[in-house]
Amino acid sequence: MKHIFKVTSVLAAISAIWIGLLQTSLLPPNYTWLLPIYLVVALGCYGLFMVGIGLMFFPTCPQEAVLLQQDIVEAKEFLSKNGVDVASD
């Protein structure tokens, strides 16, 4: 099944619950009408929160740049000894 169908069925299920809540008045109707907006806002907040967390704990590796420079020196040494031109362009 295509992914978009999965997404629309989830949205359809949520809509069904919302309409159900409107019909049966388990919650006050004026509150129920605003539920979709609360859901969208909550989703937005969750997204921003995930971006923030990801940014805070973004894995970095400064030592890798150093190791890479060492590897480059080692490689250039071997290659020039074996007849490969390693001049930078």
Partner 1 sequence: MEERKDELQTKGKEKEVKYSIIVPTYNERLNIALIIYLIFKHLRDVEFEVIVVDDGSPDGTQDIVKQLQQVYGEDRILLRARPRKLGLGTAYAHGLKHARGDFVVIMDADLSHHPKYLPSFIRKQKETGANIVTGTRYVKNGGVHGWNLMRKLTSRGANVLAQTLLWPGVSDLTGSFRLYERSVLEDLVTSCVSKGYVFQMEMIVRATRKGYRVEEVPITFVDRVFGSSKLGGSEIVEYLKGLVYLLFTT
What amino acid occupies position 72?
Answer: I
Closest CB to partner 1 among 31 and 49?
49
Provide the token pair at 22: 């409107």
Provide the token pair at 34: 């605003």
Among 2, 25, 30, 70, binds partner 1 (CB under 8 A): 2
By the 8 A CB rule, do 32 and 17 touch? no
Q: Which of residues 23-82 bind partner 1 (CB under 8 A)?
A: 43, 47, 50-51, 54-55, 58-62, 64-65, 68, 71-72, 74-79, 82
Tokens 């074996």 correspond to what residue?
82
Q: How many Å is the Cα radius of gyration of the chain? A: 28
Binding site for partner 1 (CB under 8 A): 2-4, 6-7, 43, 47, 50-51, 54-55, 58-62, 64-65, 68, 71-72, 74-79, 82-89
